[in-house]
Amino acid sequence: VEDDLSRFERVAEDAIRTVVRHLRAELEDRTPASGYAPLGEIADTLDLKRWIGEGGMREADFTAFLQRYLAHSVQLHSPRHIAHQVSVPDYPAAIAALVNGFTNNPMAIYEMGPAAATIEFAVVNWMLEKVGWTPQPVRPRPGSRHSAGVLTHGGSLANLTALLAARARAAPDAWERGAPADLAVLTAPGSHYSVARAVAILGMGSNAIYTLPANRFGVIDPDGLEQAVTDVHASGRRCMALVANACQTATGLHDPLRPIGEFCAANDIWLHVDACHGATALLAARSRQLLDGIELADSLVWDAHKMMQVPVICAAVLFRRSECFDEAFHQDASYLAYGKDADSYDSLPRAIECTKSGLGFKIFMNLAWRGERALGDYVDDRYAAARRFHDIIAERPGFECPYRPESNILCFRYGDDDDLMEAIRERMMRDGAFHITSAIIGGRRHLRLTVMNKRTDEATIRRLLTTIEDYAARLRDASQPEPAGGAEAARPPGGSSPRAHQNDHRRPR
Ligand SMILES: Cc1ncc(COP(=O)(O)O)c(C=O)c1O
Q: Give pLDDT tens digits for 118-129.
A: 999 999 999 999
CA 85 to ligand 1: nearest atom: 14
Q: Please tell me the distance between residue 304's alpha carbon and the centre of ligand 1 in angstroms.
A: 11
Q: Please tell me the distance between residue 122's alpha carbon and the centre of ligand 1 in angstroms.
A: 24
Helix (H) / strand (E) containing 65 = helix 59-71
Note the pLDDT of residue 497.
Answer: 41
pLDDT, one tens digit per residue, over 165-204 is 999 999 999 999 999 999 999 999 999 999 999 999 999 9
Q: Check if the beta carbon of residue 271 is closer than 8 Å to that of residue 245.
A: no
Q: Is the pTM of this model over 0.85?
A: yes
Q: How confident is the model at residue 459 (pLDDT cuts 50, 70, 90)?
A: very high
| 503 DSSP assignment | G
Average pLDDT score over residue span 406-425:
96
The answer on pLDDT for 162 being more than 90 is: yes
CA angle 322, 325, 328 (to 5 degrees): 160
Q: At what angle do helices 91-103 and 359-370 cross, to 10 degrees?
A: 150
**More confident: 481 or 422:** 422
Give 302's strand partners.
Answer: 316
Q: Whose CA is nearest to atom 7 of ligand 1?
A: 155
pLDDT, one tens digit per residue, over 246-279 is 999 999 999 999 999 999 999 999 999 999 999 9
CA 303 to ligand 1: nearest atom: 10
Which of 1-15, 99-113, 474-488 has the largest mean confidence? 99-113
Q: Please tell me the distance between residue 277's alpha carbon and the centre of ligand 1 in angstroms.
A: 7
Q: Please tell me the distance between residue 192's alpha carbon and the centre of ligand 1 in angstroms.
A: 6
Average pLDDT score over residue span 488-509:
35
CA 158 to ligand 1: nearest atom: 11
Q: Whose CA is nearest to atom 5 of ligand 1?
A: 155
Q: What is the dihedral of CA 187, 189, 193, 196, to 10 degrees?
A: 40
The answer on pLDDT for 91 being more than 80 is: yes
Q: For all residues of the chain together, what is the average pLDDT?
A: 92
Q: Whose CA is nearest to atom 4 of ligand 1?
A: 155
The string of DSSP letters for 293-351 reads TGGG-SEEEEEHHHHT---SS-EEEEESSHHHHHTT-----TTT---SSSS----GGG-
CA 275 to ligand 1: nearest atom: 1
CA 247 to ligand 1: nearest atom: 1
Average pLDDT score over residue span 219-238:
97
Among 192, 251, 306, 317, the mutation site with the greatest number of ligand 1 atoms within 8 A of its Cβ is: 192
pLDDT, one tens digit per residue, over 272-310 is 999 999 999 999 999 999 999 999 999 999 999 999 999
Q: Which residues of 25-56 are buried (b: 16+ CB within 10 A; e: fewer)?
A: bbbeeebbbbbbbeeeebeeebeeeeeeeeee
Q: Please tell me the distance between residue 249's alpha carbon and the centre of ligand 1 in angstroms.
A: 7
Q: Please tell me the distance between residue 146's alpha carbon and the centre of ligand 1 in angstroms.
A: 27
Q: How confident is the model at residue 134 (pLDDT cuts 50, 70, 90)?
A: very high
The answer on pLDDT for 502 being more than 80 is: no
Among 219, 277, 313, the mutation site with the greatest number of ligand 1 atoms within 8 A of its Cβ is: 277
Among 276, 317, 448, the mutation site with the greatest number of ligand 1 atoms within 8 A of its Cβ is: 276
Q: Please tell me the distance between residue 37's alpha carbon and the centre of ligand 1 in angstroms.
A: 26
Q: Please tell me the distance between residue 450's alpha carbon and the centre of ligand 1 in angstroms.
A: 14
Q: Please tell me the distance between residue 303's alpha carbon and the centre of ligand 1 in angstroms.
A: 7
Q: Please tell me the distance between residue 83's alpha carbon and the centre of ligand 1 in angstroms.
A: 14
Among 160, 272, 303, the mutation site with the greatest number of ligand 1 atoms within 8 A of its Cβ is: 303
The answer on pLDDT for 505 being more than 80 is: no
Q: How confident is the model at residue 504 (pLDDT cuts 50, 70, 90)?
A: very low
Q: Please tell me the distance between residue 270's alpha carbon and the centre of ligand 1 in angstroms.
A: 20
Q: From CA 269, how far away is CA 220, in angstroms rounded?
A: 16
| 150 DSSP assignment | E
Q: Whose CA is nearest to atom 8 of ligand 1?
A: 155
Q: How confident is the model at residue 340 (pLDDT cuts 50, 70, 90)?
A: low
Q: Check if the beta carbon of residue 308 is closer than 8 Å to that of residue 376.
A: no
Q: From CA 478, how far away is CA 476, in angstroms rounded?
A: 5
Identify the sign of the CA torsion 374, 375, 377, 382.
positive
CA 248 to ligand 1: nearest atom: 1
CA 315 to ligand 1: nearest atom: 10
CA 245 to ligand 1: nearest atom: 1
Note the pLDDT of residue 330.
Answer: 84
Q: Please tell me the distance between residue 10's alpha carbon and the centre of ligand 1 in angstroms.
A: 37
Note the pLDDT of residue 144.
Answer: 87
Q: How confident is the model at residue 479 (pLDDT cuts 50, 70, 90)?
A: confident
For residue 344, with 0-12 CB atoms within 10 Å meaning exposed, 13-18 middle and 19 or more buried, which class applies?
middle
Pocket of ligand 1 (CB under 6 A): 85, 154-156, 159, 192, 194, 245, 249, 274, 276-277, 303, 315
Q: Please tell me the distance between residue 411's alpha carbon and the centre of ligand 1 in angstroms.
A: 18
